[in-house]
Structure formats: C-alpha cells, structure tokens
Structure 1
Amino acid sequence: MRWVLRSVLALALLVFLAVVALVLMPTEQIARLAADRFEEITGRQLVMEGAVRPSFFPTLGVQTGPVSVSNATWSREGEMLRAEGLRIALDLTALMRGEVRITAIEADAPQVVLERNAEGQANWEFGGSAGGSATPGMAGEGTPFTLDLAEVTGGRFTYVDHATGRRVELSGLEGTARIPAFRGEAAFDFKAVTNGQPFAAQLALADFAPFLEGKLGDVALTVQAGAADLRFAGRAGWAPMAVEGALEARLGDLSETLRLIGATPGARPQGLGAGRVEASGRLTVTEAQSLHLRGGTVVLDDNRLTVEADLTTAGERPKLTAQLTAGPLRLAAAMGGTGGEIGGGARGGTQAEGWPVAPLDVSGLGAMDASVALSAESVDLGVVRFGATRIATTIDRGRAVFDLRQIAAYQGTISGQFVVNGRSGLSVGGDLTLAGLAMQPLLMDLGGYDRLIGSGDLSLKFLGVGNSVDAIMRSLSGSGRLSLGKGELRGLDVAGMLRTLDLGYVGEGQRTIFDGVSGSFTMENGVLLNDDLSLRAPYVTATGDGTVDLGARLLDYRLRPVALAAVDGSGGVMVPLLITGPWASPRFRLDLEALARERFEEQARALEERAKLEAAEAEARARAELARRAEEELGIVAQEGESLEDAARRRAQEALGAETGRLLERLLGSGN
C-alpha cells in the first residue's frame, strides 16, 4: 500500500515541480528530467511515451501517454507497472500554501505486477542511488496530502509468490479512492474478476495516516461475490498483518467464495452447506498468520453451531482446534440417507432394495489437521440417529478418529471409537460398545428390519473398505457379541408352529415372546456368521446358526426350537425352522427333511444303544454260565469283587502250593 502511494505521489510531484520550474521548457525535456529523478529514487526506469501535456489553471496538472516502470532484474513477469495513460491534478492554491491537495488521479488500463522470488525478495523493495526511498520532502514520507478522487479503469493486478507457487490475478479492475483528510476518513471502492468470478469490495478507514504506515486502525470492509456477502468491522494493520473485529459472512452455497480463492466448487450434501453457509463472530488474525474466532456462529443449511476456534497455518498443513456446540444436527444427506425423527425408526434407514451406492467424498479430511470437540442435542446421519452426543474428533493426515464420549441412542448409550481413514481410498472401522439399545428402531434404521423388539447390549469390532455405503457393507470384517433381555420376535409364533407343524403361525399378528437371546458372531467379506445363538422363552427354547449377508441383505439361518420340554430340558417337540431370503421380507419354512434326518439319526443311535445293551447282557449271561461250570467242575468260586479270571488264577496258585507242600513232605519223610 505505502510503496504504491509513494511511487505515484513521487511521480506526480516530480512532474509538477518540473512543470512549475521549467514552464518554458519542452515537455519532452520535462519528462526526461522526471524519469531521471524517479530512477535515482527507486532504481527503476520510468518511461513516458508520447507527449506530456501540462495544465496550469485552475489546477496544476499533467496528462501523459503510455507510462511504464521497469521490474526487478530477477523478474520474468514483464514490467512492474504499465498504464495507457495517466492524468494527475493538484490544487495550485493549496500547493502555494505548502499543502498537497491532489484533486484527481486517473489511470487508464494500468497493469501492476507484484512478486516475491524464491529467496523471499519482493519487487517493490526499491534500491535506487538515493537509498531506495522517497526523500523527506516528498509526499508519502511524512508529508500530509489529500486526494479528492482517484480512478482506475480497465486495470489488471497480478501477485506471484515464487517460493510457494501461489499466483493471484485480478482483471477488469475498476476502482475509486477518496482521501479527504490525511488524518481522517478514507474510502476505497473497486470491482474486479478473479478465477472467472466477479466481485466487488469497499474499504472504509477511520484514520488514513496510521493505516498508510501499516499500523492498527479502525476499518470497515465489505466484499460481495454473487450471492456471497462478507462484512468486517474492527481494527486492522498490515505491518505486521493483524486483524481484530466482528465478522459477518453470508456465503450462499460457497461456490462464488471457492472460486474467489481458486478452489473448484463442488456439490455439497444438504446439512453441510448445500445452499446456505453463514458465519459470524469475533475474528482475530495475528502476525504469525493464525486465526482465532470467539463467540462464533456457523450455519450450514438447517444446522446451526456455536464455535470457539483457533486455526494455525504453520507446518505442513493448517491445524484447527475448535469447540462446537449445536442443537439438532441433520447430516443424513452427507451419509446417503434421508433423515427423520430421532429414534422413531419409521423411515427404514436405507432404501429397501439396497445400500446407498453414491460415492462418499472424504477428500476434505486431507485439507487440514484438527482437534475438535462436538456437543449436540441430536445427530441424524441418515443410516443411524443419535440423541445427546459428545464426540472428540482428531484428524491427522486425512485420518479421522471419533472418540465417542457420550452418545444417547435408541434408549441406550454408545461408546468407543469410530475411524474414517481417507489417506488411500476410504475405510471405516471401530470398536464400539452399545448398552441398553432398543433393537426395533435401531434395526429399522440400519436395514429396514422391524421384527425384533427388545433391548440389549452389543459389542462390535469392525472394518470396512469402499467408497460408498454399499461397498463398505459388502467388505465388512470383524466380530461381536449380542445379548438381549425380554422381548418378542414379530411375524413368527414358534410354539404354535411346533405344536401343529403348521406354517400358518407365520405372518402378521404372530409373535414369539422370549426371556432372553444371546450369541456371538464373526464377519468376513460382508457376511456375518453365527453358530451359537441361544433363545429362551416360555415353553420354548431354541438354538441357531447361519449367515447374514450384510452387503446383499440376505438371510440364511436355521433355528432349532424345542417346545414343551421338561424342566431339565429333555423331551419336547423339535422342528428345525429355516429363515431365508431378503431380510425385509424373509421366508419361513419348516425343515422337514432335516427333521426326518435328525429323527433317523436318533433312531439309529437308539438301535446302536440297544444292540450294545443286548451284547452286554449276552456277555454277562455267558460269564455267569462259565462261572457255574468252573465251580462245579474245577471248584473255582469267585470271591466278592473278584472276576472269574482272577478266581481261576487264585485257585491254580492254591493248587500249585498244595502240591508243592506234599512233594516236600515226601522228600523230607524219605530222608528220615
């Protein structure tokens, strides 16, 4: 800002002084003298093409043809300044009093190039033989001045930072400036086009002099771009850059704002700024280029949040630290759902024919790192809906971790961690604990299934990969465990069906009341496998196993209910029940083939047991007969607890001992 005013004013005063001092000299010589003096001050060449036409009364002025100022020697962007013509006028009476009152400055099609090289050197840092700055007697260097009106038509502005690769271009620049008092108010008004987006801006200064030096001062800024409107009122300075004040922005659907900053507008889902983005609060920008918002409010469509936020720009990526507080948050469209009332379970969560296949765009996770705490009255994600919610979110290099500190959902609570990883494609995972959740509204929202009524606990570890809800559901892997208390299964009367073997107990109005259900499961490639289901109900118990294809939303499950069993679990009637087909309209049928097979196997086992019993009885009879004959013929009598074999062995040993005794007696008797 300061170098522009100094350069223009220096040029103007040099020309005017030349006109006054050398009124009788040719205009070409006047222009040459002004150019020489300008180069001595700035180190840059000033070229005036064509005639220089002075005026003397009622204003002292000069009008030129094309004018250009050379750029820094290291620049490859062409001239630093070029205009098709300049007209400058001063109040002669004020000048004679020692005051600088510029009545008019007009620039026709000016083109200005500002740039920094890779080493950080700026092309507006002049280096002339006079020390690279205006002398103390010049305007802009301690000399007060006023400006009635400055006008720019057909201008172009370019800023290039070769160190960062950033390039900003403004075309079609039209603007005015008014500085009625050097130490007083000033107004700047301009419009231009950047990145194909027209915009207009108005800047009002309460005190021009300190702002010229870069010091903090009261400012009011308004920017409009299509439906977007931004207003700031507060204090600002540019040496160093600092801002503090009240910000109010109505940004429409963000498309104009994104084009202004060089980003590509894209469709955003309802709830995340599809048609309405607003922000307000107390904004502070520090010398370190950090931004701080206090008492902020952000509106995204129908979602309103209060915000306390800090954004730092040092490092590889910006870092956002924020505390968000909200009422009801409606984010169903962002997750491919349709939204609805909290906990009602009336809308079925997803369409009956399958999971949403719309791509999920999480590229925004890589824009910055973040540590954000959210507290909301409720959150509707379309697929599922929560009540009072407290979540701490950490984003690091495109990976978001949601620490679920408190989530009220479906009459219960949810805790644990949920992860969205957008570093390479999209994957989601989690380790969740659900306690006391009402199953009917939960399953209705998750998959349109409303037949299970009851509350229960669920522990779940899972991982899914894919760029849509459908792809994620078809890739799910993990494990979990489910435990339900008292409830009912609608559409099926297990006890009635077992008593009559009649499928008429399936359908509307039928139900199975149970005391508890438990089971564990694993998941692989989107298919859930369970083999230990246990159901306890009055007059009925059941076990079950089978699969649930989560991606295709299909059931293939076998339930083995037993009705009218004894207290010890024996007896009763058991008929396997097959549950197959889409879970929105499953088919129930008695597995009579399996029943016949199981009964045949039971009969075979009974026959085998009977054969074993008969063989044992025959063996016992044979042993008894053998013992009788041994006693009668051999004198072998088995003692209590002694087998026949042991008795025979004992009897043989006794006989051998007796015979040995007789032989010894004979030998001893013959020896006497």
Structure 2
Amino acid sequence: MTRRASILAYSLVLVLGLLGLQSWNIAAARVERHVIRAIEARTGLAVTGLDKAEIALLPLPRISLSAVSFAQQDGSLSGRALRLRAQARLLPLLVGRLDFDRVDLVSPQLDLAVPAGSDQLGDWLARPLDALQKLSEQSRIVINGGSVFIRSEGAIRSILRDVNLVLDEREAQAPLALAGNLQWRGMPAEISLVWPMAGGRGRTLLSIEAPLLKLQFEGARSSAPEPITTGQLTLATRSLPELLNWFGEAPRLAGALGPLSLSAEARIRPHDTALTNVALRLEGDRLDGALNLATVAGRTSLSGTLAGATLDLGRLLTRLELPAANGTPDSAPLPFETWTAHDIDLRVSVEAARLDGARLSDVATYLLVKKGRFEAGLLRAGAYGGSVKGRLLAMAAPGGIDVKLVGGVEKLNLGRAGLDLPQLARLSGTGALQLSLDGLGQSVPEILASLSGKGTLSLRQGELSGFAFADLLRRAERNPGLALRDWRQGRTAFDSAGFTATVANGVLTLSDAQMAGTGYRMTLVGTAALNGPTLDMAALLQPASGTLRVPFSLRGPLSAPAFDLQTEALLRPAGAGEGETLPLR
C-alpha cells in the first residue's frame, strides 16, 4: 500500500470512528426529531406528518422521509410529497449535528396561497419569499415531477404541472435563484429567475422560453416605498393572440397582430408597467415610442405613442376578421362588449402605410377605446398627390350601437391611384369625396339598414376608359343601329363629373349626378340599397345640343353591376308604336 493510500484509509477509519463515537439511535422518533428540526432550519418548511424516516451513513450521509407533508409557518405554502430526500453535510455529522446541503422533494403537490386579486409574479412570490428571507441559510432545494396549485381565497387560480425546479443554496439576505422547467396550461416552458430577498435594491432576472414566448428581463428591484422593478425587457412571440390566450386573455383587437417582438426599458409597479425606448417589430414593420400597461379596478388599459417608417394597415384589418356588410337581417348581434372590453389610447404615425393595395404617406392614426365606446381615425394621410381623413365612432346605446362615419378625400390623382387599385383603373383625373353617415342597430345589417347622411363626389379633367360615349352619340345621330357597335371600347374624356347623394334608412338616392365633356352630357338617377348592396339606376346620355337621348341601366350588386344600353328605347323612334324599331345596318 502506498503512503497516499495509507493516509486515505486511516482518514476513513478515523471518520468512521468519530461517527461511531456518536450516539446514533436509529429509532424513528429520534430520527424524526433531528430531521424535522434540521429541515425546518434549512428550508423554512415545517414537517407536519410523515409515514417513515430512514437514515443511511454510507457512502454519503442521507435521510429519506416517506409520504411527508409540510407547510410554511404563515400558511402561504403547504403540500405533501411522495418522498423527501436530504443529503447531510459530513463535517457537522462528525460533531453529532444534522445539516443539509440539498433537499429533494419527489413528486410533491404544493399549495401556494396568494392574495385576492393578485395577478403579478411579485404578488404571488411575496409571502413564500418572506418566509425564506427569515432563514439564516437555505439549502439547495430540488423539486422533481411536482405540481403547484395557486389558490386565492380557497379557489384554484392556476396549476403548474410537471414542475422540475432547482432553488440554489444561498446565505441570509442573498437573492433567490431558481431554474428548471414546468408545464402551464398544456405548454412546456423553461424558466430562470433571480429575485432579491432583502429590502432595498437587488438584482432581478427573469427568463422564460416556451413555444409561444421568449422573454428576457434583467434589472433591479426596489421595495421602498413601493415595489418597483426597472430593467431591460425583450419579448418575442409567433402569435400575440395565441400568447394572450395562453395567459387566459382574449382581447378582440389583439387579433390584428401576428408575429411580434419587442424590446424596451421597463418600469414595473403594482398594476402599472411603463415601457420606454420601445422597439416594436410587427413582421417587416418597426415602430418606436413608449407604451403603458395598467390595471385599474380590474380593467386593463393600454396607452402609448408609436412612430415608424412603414406599417401595413391592411394586414392588421384583415386579421381582425371584421363582420361582413352583406349579412342577413337576422344576423347575430355584434359583440360590442368584447370590442370595448379593454381601454386603449394608442397613437401611431408612420412615413408610409399600405392599405389593401393603396399607398399612403405621412400617416397619423389613432385608436381610442373605452367601455361602451370605440373610436378609430385617420388624422391625416397623403395619397396620390392628395390627402385622406376619416373617423369611425361607435357607442353603446339603448337601441344597439350608435355608429357615426365621417370621411374625406381631397385632390386625389386617380391615374396614379389606379396603378395600385384595380377598381380605379378605368379613371383618370383629380377627385374629391366627402361622406357623413349615422346609423343605429344591433347587427351590421340593422346598422346598414338604418344609415342616414350625405355624400358628395367630384371629378375633373379626366378620362373614363372602357366606354366611348362621344363616338356612340355621333353614330346614334346618323343611324341608331350603328350605336350598338363597339360602344364599350375606347375612352371618354370629361371636364367634370359630380355626384351628390342622400342616404335615408339605408337607401342611397342620387339627387344630382352628371358627367360632362366636349359635345356630351350624361346624367344618372336611381337608388342603391346599402344593406345589399345593390344598384338600381338609370343613365341618360345626350349631346350638348339636340334632342337625341341614349338611355342606359345600371343594375346589380355593387361589386359587379351591369351597365347596359337600352337598345329598345334607342331604336324606337319618337311616336312609334309598341314593337316598332328601326332596322339595323
């Protein structure tokens, strides 16, 4: 045997001898007394019951309690575990004292009591942390395959399953550090937390990684005069609606957002979180500014100001799944309460925006939501050499939802707009539009059927493609039969076009609508049902001087109306009997 081996062997014999000199009575009562006292001193958990206690000295001293139950003295944390294993420190055993550097809870079920109305991590941890803070030292605590029931006033608020956590060993007043994984609401998550235990300022760290969320927060927490946590926050999710649903929230307006990432400097107080230097990324768009999230009397509010280079407004509106305007009279009532369930005061301005193909510049928009009130507006926007404004206001009323819509377009270059908007591709010139409507109802069809108001449209110095009205008049004057040929081809230049419409009970009526150009004038009269919407109108084309009249009809759905020439009226000469027409040539 070498000298080194001899020394190790003699040392082992000495240690075993010292242990043997101690009076180790393995009787259950004495083991329980020593173990319970040591566990309480190192974990803050008082053992309230157990089935069996076992101790083994070799190869390392360890203690095992079966079917053990425990609780903190203030009752904020209690539970039971299939087994509690504790690794005893060797040196204290040499002098006959039990001390542990690690305590394992195997398959525990923990009950965490939280104050009523608390919804923040700091509120949930406050009482257990207070109990741990009173310890002079804390052993390393390992939770294997556990469950945590979070209760408020006896009712279960939430459940954490498959909990595997490690609470690091620490000295008095040192911060609590834990890491591990768990499952919450059917989704696994990796977490890491550093939380200050003592008063004053302390380092705070929180990391969560789950399929729907990646969150990092690093900063400091101060507990006087009120708990305030400040630091750098980063958050990313593949879908904000899915993430909020995971947290048990389903705000209707959040459906407009998809993938999202955010970084900001955060200042977190009870029921109030202020974010500054915000960098918010919505897919390819970035917005910068400040946000504030607060809870008052159980109602959540979001406010802030954001600005950026670009924003796809059309994509946001498409994701909202707005109700269709062509529903049936018995359509379900609008869920207005869900649209106004949270307070929002959000202002957004961008250099350029996209809206269903349209390109806007220098855009300033806002969203203002209160209980029973929804308002969204376009304060300003440049569009194809002109400008656009609009405002939608909806308020809860005894008869349903009171809706007001106001909009305006000025100096719009229709030729440029038609390059992006196919529905305007036939037109060129400069246009302006003014619209003001009011309605009341419980569903979209009811609101459309109740609309009243006025609208005006004016166009000047442009062309209408797809129709050759001037050529049609010239052919009709020579021979009405020739007018039927090729009138849907070519272009018609106009000097001015104007439409004035009144709306009453959901029906639009043209009171003054005409288009005029060199040698011709066209007038349009009729109605359009907004609840359809369908058109039932008649147009009359005539020369600047003369008695010739060329009639048209405009009927069908607004999305694809049929514009037809009334051939029977055109070919029937004045005073002719029924069925008498001119021959075609």
The TM-score, its normalising length taken from structure 1, stands at 0.66
1:533 maps to which of 509, 513, 526: 513
Q: Give the number of the structure whose residues are more often strand, by fraction.
A: 2
Structure 1 range deviating more: 423-432 or 555-564? 423-432
> What secondary structure sits across from 2:356 in the alignment?
coil
Q: Cα gap change, 1:104/1:32 in structure 2, threshold over 3 Å: closer, same or farther?
A: closer
- 1:85 corresponds to which residue? 83
1:543 maps to which of 523, 532, 537: 523
User: How far off its partner does 1:221 sit?
Assistant: 2.1
Q: Give the number of the structure whose residues are more often helix, by fraction.
A: 1
Q: Cα gap change, 1:580/1:262 in structure 2, threshold over 3 Å: closer, same or farther?
A: closer
1:372 maps to which of 346, 357, 361: 346
- 1:141 corresponds to which residue? 134
Say whether 1:506 aligns with 2:494: no
- 2:296 corresponds to which residue? 314
Q: Cα gap change, 1:532/1:597 in structure 2, threshold over 3 Å: closer, same or farther?
A: farther
- 1:663 corresponds to which residue? none
Q: Deviations over 1:95-120 (max 9, x none)?
A: 88999974211111121112247699
> What secondary structure sits across from 1:448 in the alignment?
helix
1:272 maps to which of 257, 261, 270: 257
User: How far off its partner does 1:53 sit?
Assistant: 2.8
Q: Distance in 2 between matches of 1:119 and 1:434?
A: 49
Say whether 1:110 aligns with 2:96: no
- 2:368 corresponds to which residue? 394
1:562 maps to which of 533, 538, 542: 542
Figure out how many residues of one structure are paired with residues of the other and give that number.
535
Say whether 1:231 aligns with 2:229: no
* Amino acid across the alignment from 2:281: V
2:279 maps to which of 284, 292, 297: 297
User: How far off its partner does 1:197 sit?
Assistant: 1.2
Structure 1 range deviating more: 495-504 or 248-257? 248-257
> What secondary structure sits across from 1:498 in the alignment?
helix
Matches within 5 A, 1:565-644: 565=545, 571=546, 573-581=548-556, 584=560, 586-590=562-566, 593=569
Q: Cα gap change, 1:415/1:333 in structure 2, threshold over 3 Å: closer, same or farther?
A: closer
Q: Distance in 2 between matches of 1:157 and 1:533?
A: 71
Preserved CA contact (<8 Å) 1:533 1:544: yes
- 1:200 corresponds to which residue? 190
> What secondary structure sits across from 1:318 in the alignment?
strand
Say whether 1:252 aligns with 2:238: yes
Q: Distance in 2 between matches of 1:193 and 1:35?
A: 31
* Amino acid across the alignment from 1:174: N
- 2:458 corresponds to which residue? 483
* Amino acid across the alignment from 1:108: V
User: How far off its partner does 1:396 sit?
Assistant: 0.8
User: How far off its partner does 1:33 sit?
Assistant: 8.2
Q: Distance in 1 between matches of 2:204 and 2:215?
A: 14
Q: Cα gap change, 1:371/1:410 in structure 2, threshold over 3 Å: closer, same or farther?
A: same
The TM-score, its normalising length taken from structure 2, stands at 0.75
Q: Cα gap change, 1:530/1:124 in structure 2, threshold over 3 Å: closer, same or farther?
A: closer
Q: Cα gap change, 1:141/1:543 in structure 2, threshold over 3 Å: closer, same or farther?
A: closer
Consecutive unaligned residues of structure 1, counting only runs of 5 or more, are 1-19, 127-132, 206-210, 339-350, 566-570, 601-672
Structure 1 range deviating more: 539-548 or 245-254? 539-548
How large is the RMSD of aligned CA atoms in angstroms?
4.9
Q: Cα gap change, 1:332/1:44 in structure 2, threshold over 3 Å: closer, same or farther?
A: closer
- 1:326 corresponds to which residue? 308
Q: Cα gap change, 1:547/1:435 in structure 2, threshold over 3 Å: closer, same or farther?
A: same
User: How far off its partner does 1:334 sit?
Assistant: 4.3
Q: Distance in 2 between matches of 1:517 and 1:317?
A: 51
Say whether 1:152 aligns with 2:143: yes
- 2:3 corresponds to which residue? none
Q: Cα gap change, 1:99/1:72 in structure 2, threshold over 3 Å: closer, same or farther?
A: closer
Q: Distance in 2 between matches of 1:444 and 1:180?
A: 68
Structure 1 range deviating more: 437-446 or 406-415? 437-446
Say whether 1:221 aligns with 2:206: yes
Preserved CA contact (<8 Å) 1:473 1:550: yes
User: How far off its partner does 1:323 sit?
Assistant: 0.5
Q: Deviations over 1:449-508 (max 9, x none)?
A: 533322222210125789999998787553211222222222223333223211335212
* Amino acid across the alignment from 1:248: T
Preserved CA contact (<8 Å) 1:48 1:65: no
Preserved CA contact (<8 Å) 1:195 1:259: no
User: How far off its partner does 1:395 sit?
Assistant: 0.8
Q: Cα gap change, 1:36/1:72 in structure 2, threshold over 3 Å: closer, same or farther?
A: closer
User: How far off its partner does 1:435 sit?
Assistant: 1.2
Preserved CA contact (<8 Å) 2:251 2:342: no
- 1:176 corresponds to which residue? 166
Q: Cα gap change, 1:517/1:256 in structure 2, threshold over 3 Å: closer, same or farther?
A: closer
User: How far off its partner does 1:521 sit?
Assistant: 0.3
Q: Distance in 1 between matches of 2:463 and 2:337?
A: 44
Matches within 5 A, 1:39-78: 46-54=47-55, 62-69=63-70
Preserved CA contact (<8 Å) 1:576 1:595: no
Q: Cα gap change, 1:166/1:488 in structure 2, threshold over 3 Å: closer, same or farther?
A: farther
